[in-house]
Structure 1
Amino acid sequence: MKKVDLNLYKFDGLEHDAVADLSTLNNEDKEQLLMAGVDVDSEETSGTFLQVDHSNVHCDSTNKDVEVMDIKKALEKYDGLPDYYFKLIDQDKDEFTKSAADNLHGGYFIRTKKGAKIKAPVQSCLFLKAEQSGQNIHNIIVVEEDSEIQILTGCAAAHSKFTGAHFGISEIYVKKGGKLTFTMVHNWGENVTVRPRTAGVVEEGGVFINNYVLLKKVKDMQSYPTIYLNGEGAVARFNSVLVAPEGSHLDSGTRIIQNAPNTRGEIISRTITTGGTIISRGHIQGNNAPARGHLECQGLLLGGGIIHAVPELEATVEGVELSHEAAVGKIAQEEIEYLMARGMDEDEATSTIVRGFLNVDDMKLPKKLQIEIDKQIAELDSSNAM
């Protein structure tokens, strides 16, 4: 992991006024937010949270069955959130968790009502706007028993040339019979350093589905969330799509720990480098049986770069079934020739394969966000063809 000089960033004095109506934001900010998953003009949401640098500027819930709060206010209201705050992550884990613990700027607290089925998603964004902004965030999600929610969250910088750093702690609790679909879209800048620290617990019969999309350049990102399946029949599925242009360094992975019987874990990672470096990690550990887990890492090299796949399967008891597939390389020539035989030229064939590889239809993203992601994929096709 690359060394990060915290002295390069500003961790004090970057406050902003509240924004009552997000539709009043300028078009440039709206576009950046949309590419991080927040459609400020959408009315089909159950709540919205927006953090800009060191300030929570907007927070609301439009559904009585889901609570959306600024983390600082939640800590005040619930006497420090003793059951959830720094329970899954050690605040002394590293310099980034220490920074967030010592100088908390914000983050969200989202909690469902027991038994509630929240149909419209909650959307949130952690936004870097001031140059050299250093942002310390702590998020907590609590999905109560037998409830369901979709959270569409993202992180963004004000423009592609932006310089800044984001240190985010996230603790996730899916209780008995609960279901969380958590989709994260990152839209950072080419000089942004990112160090998220995430852990979660899924109880009996709970389901955690995680989607992650990163298609634009980021200077240095290191992420390795860990999910503990602690209840019988608990399920965790991770699906990620990452692109590393030249100048990007991505160290990304997922760990699933199966501590209860009849649990299932799945990690599917699709990565493309067009000149950057990707370290694609995955670790499934089976500590109770019966349990099943599958890990899949697929990588394409387009125009240089490095992909290093690090799959790990670890069974500590008899009766655990774990499997993995890993493949890294260029597009197979026979695939290109197959499409060319059906009327495409080589560039068209290559673009078709890339679009299929990066397909995110199964993530069921909002229409506007899906359109913007399709545009980014088309831009990637064009630059690769050149």
Structure 2
Amino acid sequence: MNQITDELLRIISSFKDGTFHGAYNIREDGQCAGRQSSENIQIDSKQGAPGLEIHIKPGTRGETVYIPACVTHAGFDDLVYNDFFVGEGADVIIEAGCGVHSDGEEEARHNGIHRFILEKNAHVVYKEKHIANGAGSGAKKIDPVTDAELAEGACLEMDTVQLGGVTTTTRKTRAVLQKNARLVVRERIMTNGDEFARTDFVVRLEGEGSAADLVSRSVARGNSRQEFASTIKGNAPCTGHSECDAILAENGTVLAQPGLEANHVDAALIHEAAIGKIAGEQLLKLRTLGLTSEEAEERIIQGFLK
């Protein structure tokens, strides 16, 4: 594992003391830089395609599996397929994350396609951080795809963060929920300069009592552009909520397109979208406490994305 990977891991994952505690797989420039399974979590290489199969035994509780991926130079396009099979009644944390570093003029890209199969009453907290850095002028791209199938009573909580530096990103999430299943998404995105970010959610609520709560918070600075699209399809007695909150700074632009499709009389669906600049009274209040305008704006943005 090279030094750039080590530095990226400390930003995007719980690699603070130079190691992972539990099951893990470290992907570096398309190769495995380290792997460890546990008694209840088995990590194997995928057959016929780049990626992993992660099997979590039924009833597993209190464990974490780490699957970070790093691209450390220009001219590299990384594609990986990771499948998670989470057994009945398991309650675990899955910590992913991607870092792309480039000092060259060629494009560097990571595309992670993750599939989650949650059995009855399984609970997963999925954490994902993305960042790009390096002095290179080449594009730094991260394009994650998430497909989730939630059986009866299963719950998937997704906490996803884009920290900055990513030239373009398209983030696609598809989920199908059965009876009493629940999906909770908390997304936070920062763009700057000429960066572009698109989020695309499609959630199908197929089972009685299923529920989805999708919340995206973003800040578009510089000349960056963001697009948010979400579709919640209520095909049974269910509840669905979609929310997009965005702050504009400088010349940033945001397009929000929340959508609802109710196909059952007892599907209760709602969406919200709010886009605007930082309120002047907020800046004034912090400036009276001794902060400069720039410091006040940064403090407000960090609190908004927290």
Q: What TM-score do the two structures reach when normalised by structure 1?
A: 0.73
Aligned partner of 1:66 in structure 2 is 41
Aligned pairs for 1:9-24 (under 5 A) are none
Code of the aligned partner of 1:203: A
Deviates more, 1:120-129 or 1:210-219: 120-129
Aligned pairs for 1:66-105 (under 5 A) are 66-72=41-47, 104=49
Deviations 1:272-326 (A, max 9, x none): 111211101222111101x111111000111212111111111111011111221
Distance across 1 between alignment mates of 2:282 and 2:272: 19
Q: 2:77 aligns with which of 134, 138, 143?
A: 134
Aligned partner of 1:121 in structure 2 is 64
Q: Could you tell me whether the CA contact under 8 Å between 1:295 and 1:325 is conserved in 2?
A: yes
Aligned partner of 2:272 in structure 1 is 325
Code of the aligned partner of 1:284: I
- 1:143 and 2:143 aligned: no
Code of the aligned partner of 1:110: I
Aligned partner of 1:4 in structure 2 is none
- 1:174 and 2:118 aligned: yes
CA 1:169–1:345 in 2, change beyond 3 Å: closer, same or farther? closer
Distance across 2 between alignment mates of 1:235 and 1:182: 14
- 1:305 and 2:252 aligned: yes
Q: Could you tell me whether the CA contact under 8 Å between 2:5 and 2:28 is conserved in 1?
A: no
Aligned partner of 2:21 in structure 1 is 45
CA RMSD of aligned residues (A): 2.0
Percent of residue pairs bearing the same amino acid type: 22
Q: 2:170 aligns with which of 207, 222, 228?
A: 222
Q: 2:182 aligns with which of 235, 243, 259?
A: 235
Residue 51 of structure 1: SS of its match in structure 2? strand
Give the total of aligned pairs: 300
Distance across 1 between alignment mates of 2:108 and 2:289: 47
Distance across 2 between alignment mates of 1:235 and 1:333: 38
Q: Could you tell me whether the CA contact under 8 Å between 1:181 and 1:208 is conserved in 2?
A: yes
Distance across 1 between alignment mates of 2:250 and 2:206: 42
Q: In the TM superposition, what is the alpha-carbon distance from 1:41 to its structure 2 partner?
A: 3.5
Residue 250 of structure 1: SS of its match in structure 2? strand
Distance across 2 between alignment mates of 1:195 and 1:142: 22
Aligned partner of 2:140 in structure 1 is 192
Distance across 2 between alignment mates of 1:223 and 1:164: 17
Q: 2:296 aligns with which of 335, 342, 349?
A: 349
Aligned partner of 2:7 in structure 1 is 31
Higher helix share: 1
- In structure 1, runs of 5+ residues without a counterpart are 1-18, 20-24, 76-103, 360-386
Q: In the TM superposition, what is the alpha-carbon distance from 1:114 to its structure 2 partner?
A: 0.8
Q: What TM-score do the two structures reach when normalised by structure 2?
A: 0.91
Deviations 1:113-166 (A, max 9, x none): 11110x242111122124311212111011100001101101112346673122
CA 1:44–1:37 in 2, change beyond 3 Å: closer, same or farther? closer
- 1:315 and 2:262 aligned: yes
